[in-house]
A and B are shown apart, each in its own frame.
Chain A
């Protein structure tokens, strides 16, 4: 489809570091645990469909799938723990700035509103693609929804894991109106469908399966991005770093063919697995709608 452009991109020898090893490691942990959680959990949400039973048996059935689910949940919590420890360390010990405000922040900034308007114009063909900085607005949204989603899933998941202990802390008069385990189950189930559906469609299509990235954006695995990609995706950041003379600090040698190969070997099957799960969920939606 775009072998011509990829050809040029691949030839480029100027590479920059976009993700540190720590962030790549956290993303890897999240991938592994997320897939474990989805594959063992989604059959329960789609329990009346044949594929769900097949998938559940494939994952070991009851109670094995449940054990895998809990182990993966602990890995997810561990990744979240690492993330916040790292954030805390960078802010309070290393005294780094720009986590809450400015171009480096993952929180929503005023410029994001202009970026959204600019992007919409670009979609409709009445403007150029806006120059993004370090984080594009939808990446911020994905990050924030991951944080929110992890919090909701962890809390409801723990209630379902320890229902007796959680109900103990609420008085009986309240429990007869607010049934904590049932509410937790409903939230856990539909938040899971939301998360799985979002990651396997929106996240995949916004990052890995973009026409210019197909089949996978290697940056999150190798950490490296070519100069051309950098300028195309995040021109504002490129120009900002250039003017601050910080660009040279980020220059790295290009990823070796071996690393690139391993990345694809890992990422492509995982992407396909995610798309297959989406296809399963869509068939369920179609069956339900018909």
Chain B
């Protein structure tokens, strides 16, 4: 019963364009007519790879895949690189295509299998443990209450099988571990597809500037170290890792003796986000009629960061333009003097 409800929940999330995307993604099994009549059984990848490694044997070797969030159309290949597949998390010797693509268990492949398979269900029979946490997350809550497209397993754990990741990197076997540097790097990018503003802020901060230089080991936090892995909750939720109740514990994991003032730190400074400047200017403009709003904007710790940033841009601009001009003029005058002196001494010689 429990499993059933989870399954329906996931199916619900895969409605509309999402369904199309996943069916396309998994349409790998649209097989061309095989020379031999074959029936698929668990325990053998041979019949699948027979066609899915050769484009001329497939009826459809590429399928359009629509990104549910950006609406971007991508082309997903139906071909499998066996060597790469073997290095992935599901590429072990005791693991087979039909374990995930269950619809095809026992399918008759004489004329190829039916197109547009159901999306793979990761949680019902295998990964019910992280799913338990995931189903309680704010993402799923959004989906239930507002019917929003939210990330499901494969949006973060892309590249688990033979498919390329969104960022073009192949994800090797032990990657879906929170301890793996490549997985940590890929998840930052995965979160950024939706949370661009927070991603930009993170990149501007001490933690994010190190990870953007390519270092993503465990001693520098990525998104999920602070926000949680599967049970990602909005900071207003009392159980949230970044909420009032648990923030001391979260920061304290790395910063021993983190105190109440320390955890007020702005981890996503918006110094390059114009909307904060517009909000400040508008608040000042309407300061007389709406002093409460002005007070609120001025009390936002982001405001002071924006002011410091603009101040420094001014100092940089002024210093380099004035002293740059000074250096240039100084140089030109020195060369002019020398030229004159030389010309003068030349005349004397004549």
Q: Using a CB-CB cutoff of 8 Å, which residues 53-71 of chain A contact chain B?
A: 53, 56-57, 61-63
Given A61-B215, A167-B261 in contact, is the A201-B324 Cβ separation under 8 Å? yes
Specify the chain A residue showing the minimal Cβ separation from B271: A186
A residues neighboring B (CB under 8 Å):
2, 4-5, 43-45, 47-48, 52-53, 56-57, 61-63, 119, 122-123, 125, 129, 138, 160, 163-164, 167-168, 170-172, 174-179, 181-183, 185-187, 190-191, 193-194, 197-198, 201-202, 205-206, 210-212
Q: Using a CB-CB cutoff of 8 Å, which residues 200-245 of chain B contact chain A?
A: 203, 205-206, 209-210, 212-215, 217, 219-220
A163 and B299 form a contact (CB under 8 A): no
B213 and A43 form a contact (CB under 8 A): yes
Binary contact track B294-322/A, C-beta < 8 Å → 1, others 0: 00000111001100110011011001100
Decide yes or no whether B35 CB sits under 8 A from chain A: no
Q: List chain A residues, Cβ under 8 A from B36.
A: none
Decide yes or no whether B195 CB sits under 8 A from chain A: no
Decide yes or no whether B285 CB sits under 8 A from chain A: no
B312 and A186 form a contact (CB under 8 A): yes
B338 and A212 form a contact (CB under 8 A): yes
Decide yes or no whether B327 CB sits under 8 A from chain A: yes
Nearest CB of chain A from residue B56's CB, rounded to whole Å: 40
Q: List chain A residues, Cβ under 8 A from B301.
A: 176-179, 182
14 additional A-B residue pairs with CB within 8 Å, beyond A125-B336, A177-B301, A186-B312: A5-B341, A44-B209, A44-B213, A47-B203, A163-B265, A167-B261, A172-B261, A177-B304, A182-B205, A190-B309, A193-B316, A205-B330, A206-B327, A210-B331
Cα distance A183–B255 when bound, in Å? 19
- Residues of B in contact (CB 8 Å), total 54
A190 and B262 form a contact (CB under 8 A): no
B213 and A211 form a contact (CB under 8 A): no
Nearest CB of chain A from residue B337's CB, rounded to whole Å: 7
B residues neighboring A (CB under 8 Å):
203, 205-206, 209-210, 212-215, 217, 219-220, 255-262, 264-266, 269, 271, 299-301, 304-305, 308-309, 312-313, 315-316, 319-320, 323-324, 326-327, 329-338, 341-342
Cα distance A198–B323 when bound, in Å? 9
Contact of B333 among A43, A122, A183 (CB under 8 A): A122
Nearest CB of chain B from residue A54's CB, rounded to whole Å: 10
Specify the chain B residue showing the minimal Cβ separation from A213: B334
B338 and A2 form a contact (CB under 8 A): yes
